[in-house]
Each structure stands twice: as C-alpha cells, then as structure tokens.
Amino acid sequence: MNQVTLAGKITQGHNGNEAIVMKTDSKNNPVAEFNLCVSEYYNKEWQKHFFKVKVYGPTAEMVEKHCDAGSKIVVMGKLMQPRWKDNEGKARSSVIIVTFKVGFLDLDKTEQQDYEQSTDDMY
C-alpha cells in the first residue's frame, strides 16, 4: 500500500519565488506544485521535514485560490519517485507526494464545506 497523509504549512518558493507554481499536464489539466513543511517533536526537540507536493485538477485550482506561503493544509496521497539522468549522465531521483485530497485548515467552515462538496464526485 502506498498512502501518505501529512499536515503542515506551505513554504515560500526557492530564492523568493512564488510559494505555489501552477503548470498544466499533457492533457492541459491544472497542476499545483509546492513545498510542504511538516514539523514533529522527536527526541526532545522540534524537527522540520520538507516535501515536494503535486496537486492535480480542480483541487490544484483551489490550492492556488486559497493558499500561499504559510497556509496550513493536510494532504492525502501517494509517494512517487521520478528518476532521470542529469547533464553529466549521473542518475538522479526525488520523492514527491502526488495528492488525491487536500484539507484547507485555514478556510472558514463555509468555504471548507463548499470545497468538500465540489470535490466529492472526484473520488
């Protein structure tokens, strides 16, 4: 089984870039990409972990509309590990979370209910 659920905050993009980068996939569907900071208390200290996240379709549009750096969210999805060779021919890989559901922890109750109703048919 490949399933992950994480709660955290969206971080600012690298070098001051946008926190959420919007793209389209090969079928012209919207894709939101961002980094998620997840904090945990372990061994008597707080540790932070950073994960790359991709969100597709109408949920990606909701992320773009309602979130920015510092937004608190929950993502549910699966781990993917794309592999490629860099310019020098060296094998590279990374781990990303491809989401199938996002919970917006900063939305008020009405906005959250509207979002949940709009995505119920997707899953």
| Residue 9: per-residue pLDDT | 96
| Residue 117: per-residue pLDDT | 47
| Residue 60: per-residue pLDDT | 95
CATH of the domain at 76: 2.40.50.140
Domain limits at 50?
4-114
CA dist 112 and 121 (Å) reads: 15
Q: Is residue 120, in this structure, part of any structural domain at all?
A: no
Per-residue pLDDT tens digits of the chain, which is 123 residues long: 999 999 999 998 777 778 999 999 999 999 999 999 999 999 999 999 999 999 999 999 999 999 999 999 999 999 999 999 999 999 999 999 999 999 999 876 555 555 554 555 444
Query: Which of 64, 10, 60, 1 has the alpha carbon at shortest distance from 34?
Result: 10
Instruction: Write out the two tokens for 36.
Output: 């998620």
Beta partners for 36? 10, 51
Q: Is residue 58, in this structure, part of any structural domain at all?
A: yes
Please tell me the total count of domains within the chain.
Answer: 1
Beta partners for 34? 53
| Residue 14: per-residue pLDDT | 72
What is this structure's pTM?
A: 0.81
Q: Is residue 45, in this structure, part of any structural domain at all?
A: yes
pLDDT, averaged across the chain: 88
| Residue 114: per-residue pLDDT | 55
76: helix, strand or coil: strand
